[in-house]
């Protein structure tokens, strides 16, 4: 195992549910470290850019409407094998299929309003982290 960074987004549904603290608590309780975080309101254009990989999917329009419907909390998480560990903590895409103990089981509603995003590979993390965080914002990493 090696130390990795992954991008987390607490989506507008979870922010609306007052679950920012609840999600971050689950992240920290799982042993992942929050090394950068901020609240942002994504424009439709930003959401389309972030999810460009899904631009041909039938749900692209509603996904980008949803992601730009309210504030989100973006964070960089760090830890051994952080990418897969966070995916496991999130649970499957469809919240209704998420096992107990996962973030999506606790805070998600359905396949779209599923509370959180997490990078799915080192390649995704390497593009998703700089999408939201400048080098300046990341320079304090590894000093926690």
Q: Which is nearer to Mg ion, 93 or 142 (CB)?
A: 93
Q: Is 136 a catalytic residue?
A: no
Q: Is 55 in the site for ligand IDP (CB under 6 A)?
A: no
CB of 64 closer than 8 Å to CB of 47: yes
SS3 80: strand
Nearest alpha-carbon partner for 71 in 41, 26, 95, 33: 41
Per CB under 6 A, the segment of 18-26, 37-45, 73-81, 114-122 that binds ligand IDP is 114-122
Residue from 46, 81, 109, 112 that binds ligand IDP (CB under 6 A)? Answer: 112
- CB-nearer residue toward ligand IDP: 122 or 140: 122
Contacting range for Mg ion; rule: CB under 5 A; set: 20-28, 33-41, 102-110, 114-122 = 114-122
Which strands make up the sheet holding 116-118, listed edge to edge?
33-41, 71-80, 3-10, 116-118
Check 25, 117, 136, 143 and give the catalytic one: 117
* Parallel/antiparallel/unpaired status of strands 116-118 and 33-41: unpaired
Tally Cβ neighbours within 10 Å of residue 24.
18
Q: Which does 63 bind (CB under 5 to 8 A by kind): ligand IDP, Mg ion, none?
A: ligand IDP
| 17, 71, 105, 120: residue in contact with ligand IDP (rule CB under 6 A) | 120
> Does 93 help bind ligand IDP (rule: CB under 6 A)?
yes
CB proximity list for 27: less than 8 A, separation 6 or greater: 8, 34, 75, 77, 86, 89
Mind telling me the catalytic residues? 117
């Amino acid at each position: 195992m090696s130390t990795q960074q992954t991008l987390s987004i607490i989506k507008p549904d979870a922010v609306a549910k007052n679950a920012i603290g609840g999600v971050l608590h689950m992240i920290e309780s799982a042993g992942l470290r929050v090394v950068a975080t901020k609240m942002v309101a994504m424009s439709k254009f930003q959401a389309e850019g972030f999810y460009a990989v899904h631009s041909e999917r039938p749900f692209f329009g509603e996904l980008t409407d949803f992601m730009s419907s309210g504030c989100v909390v973006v964070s960089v998480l760090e830890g051994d094998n952080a990418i897969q560990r966070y995916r496991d903590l999130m649970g499957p895409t469809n919240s209704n299929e998420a096992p107990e103990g996962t973030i999506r089981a606790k805070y998600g509603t359905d396949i779209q309003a599923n509370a959180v995003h997490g990078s799915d590979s080192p390649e995704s993390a390497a593009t998703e982290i700089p999408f939201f965080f400048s080098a300046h914002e990341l320079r304090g990493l590894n000093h926690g």
